[in-house]
Amino acid sequence: MVQVTSAMPIAKMIGSTRVILGHGIVNVTGDPTLSPEEEKKLRCQLVQQALAALESEEKI
Amino acid sequence: MRIVHYVNQFFGGVGGEEAAGSPLEERAGAVGPGLLFEQMMGEGAEIVTTLICGDNHAVEHQDEVVASVVDKVKKARAELFVAGPCFEAGRYGMAAGAICAAVQSELGIPVVTGMSEENPGTDLYRESLYIIDSGRQTAEMRGVMVKMADLSKKMMNNEKIGSPSEEGYLIRGLIRDEFVEQTAGRRLVDMLLAKVKGEPFESEMVSTFFEPIFMSVAVKDISNAKVMVITDGGLVPKGNPDNIEGMAATRWGTYNLEGLDDLKSEDYEISHGGYDPKFVQEDPHRLVPLDALRELEKEGAIGELHNEFISTSGLGNPLSNTRRMGKEMVEKVKEEGVDAVILTST
């Protein structure tokens, strides 16, 4: 499992092993300031990061 | 004082593990450890009824056993209810905890039980009950019974209950206002000095302890894996069909993604207090990135996206609750043959 969150200190505190920093507490996988196209691109990048973390043997 | 005591098949003298399936039975008077408890309570205290149930039966038929015990305690006109002590016996602890919590909330009489810190019943019921720390050794029965009796007397007399270390009960995780002699600054410095000198001191607030989380095995080839999304950000279909609470949620839901390429804002809502849900409500992909995952699925970056997502709200929730839900979700994930999970957390 990989966790995507902007509340990194909480994820670290409980000892989550694969964590990707989200884009904001209230929009983890998005950014309302971007155009829809740009936002989707950002989201794809975040998801790809998350997928890479799933294949990792190392803590992230 | 009329007391009802609950024990398992072992302490009730019915038998060992072979008798763990024995149903709830009722006996007049004190049995086994109850005799000791009665003695510790002193004159005027009487165990009028002992209820005995096999550990397996109690856990497998918990609702039925709990309801039956509550009924019997009520009929016995008990003024105090005692269960155990259960030491490290897990099923015994879980049953005793569930029964005590029900008796306390439904009949409003004082209840006391005893368990070890490691007993799973402790994690589940420490917040709602006074659980005397029994340790693991049944040989300590006498000392444990003294503490259970002392605490019972205080509760019966409406006396102030002291701190966990004073009374010998397991930390409940509750914070209570109290008048003290010294200011916080003074107490802090005293504590620090004691620490530096290697003297004993007691923290006023013990931080929550988290079990270590073991690293799961890496996914070998994500392009062949079945991926599922779980979120604790509270995204639910419009109308919140499973009534998932926005705070201290006791439930979680699975919601369909089959045939969907994107999530329409008008079809979903957020059941989660504490954060401004405006942005996710505008575009649910900001929490459940379905559009991106569908695209990656088409490109072959992942094998398959599981056709539903799991959601609950992660706010102000006791750990015992979240642990239970986490375990339930793991069962579901396994059942569906999912290889990897992306959890989005607000």
Nearest to B335, CA basis, from B297, B298, B308, B302: B308
Does residue B213 surpass a pLDDT of 90? no
Q: What is the pLDDT averaged over residues B137-163?
A: 95
> The tokens of B18 are what?
């072979």
Please list the residues that pair with B309 across neighbouring strands. Answer: B255
User: d(Cα B51, Cα B70) in Å, to the nearest integer?
Assistant: 11
The verdict on residue A60 lying in a domain is no
Contact B323/A at CB under 8 A: no
- In a domain, residue A50? The reply is yes
pLDDT over 90 at B11, yes or no? yes
Residue B120 clears pLDDT 90, i.e. is over it: no
Task: Please report whether residue A59 resides in a domain.
Answer: no
A37 occurs within a structural domain: yes
User: Of A4, A29, A54, which has the smallest distance from its Cβ to B218's Cβ?
Assistant: A54
Chain A residues inside the 8 Å CB shell of B288: 29
Confidence category of residue B118, pLDDT binned at 50, 70, 90: confident
Q: What is the pLDDT of residue B208?
A: 62
| Residue of B210, B277, B301 lying closest to A51 (CB–CB) | B301
Whether residue B292 and residue A25 make contact (CB cut-off 8 A), yes or no, is no
B291 touches A at CB < 8 Å: yes
ipTM rounded to 2 decimals: 0.97
- Dmax of chain B from CA atoms? 79
Task: List pLDDT tens digits, range B305-330.
Answer: 999 999 999 987 777 788 899 999 99
Domains of chain B are 2-167 (3.40.50.2300), 222-344 (no CATH)
Check pLDDT > 90 for residue B139. Answer: yes
Mean pLDDT of chain B: 94
pLDDT tens sequence across B176-208: 788 889 999 999 999 999 999 999 988 877 666
Output the DSSP codes for B147-198: HHHHHHHHHHTTPPP--HHHHTBPP---------SS-HHHHHHHHHHHHHHT
Q: What is the pLDDT of residue B261?
A: 96
- Residue A40 resides in a domain: yes
Task: Measure B238 CA to nearest chain A CA, in Å.
Answer: 19
**φ/ψ (deg, to 5) at B68:** -65, -40
Among candidate residues B216, B213, B228, the one with its CA nearest the CA of residue B344: B228
> Taking residues B295-307, what's their average pLDDT?
97
- Containing structural domain, residue A37: 3-54
Average pLDDT over residues B108-134: 93
Distance CA B50, CA A11 (A): 47
B219 vs A54: CB contact, 8 Å cut-off?
Answer: yes
pLDDT of res. B93? 94
pLDDT of residue B83: 98
Which among A44, A56, A57 is the nearest to B292, CB-wise?
A: A44
Does the pLDDT value for residue A41 go beyond 70? yes
Q: Is residue A9 part of a domain?
A: yes
A8 has pLDDT over 90: no
The full DSSP string for A7-53 is -HHHHHHHT-SSEEE-S-SS-TT--TTS-HHHHHHHHHHHHHHHHHH
Put simply, whether B297 touches A (Cβ < 8 Å) is no
Residue B295 near residue B235, CB atoms below 8 Å: no
On whether the CB atoms of residues B263 and B284 are closer than 8 A, the answer is yes
First to last CA, chain A: 11
Q: Is the pLDDT of residue B209 over 70?
A: no
- What percent of chain B has pLDDT above 90? 82
Over pLDDT 70: what percentage of chain B? 99
Buried b (16+ CB within 10 A) or exposed e, B149-168: bbbbbbbbeeeeeeebeeeb
**Which residues of chain A from 15 to 44 reach within 8 Å of chain B, CB to CB?**
15-18, 22, 24-30, 32, 39-40, 43-44
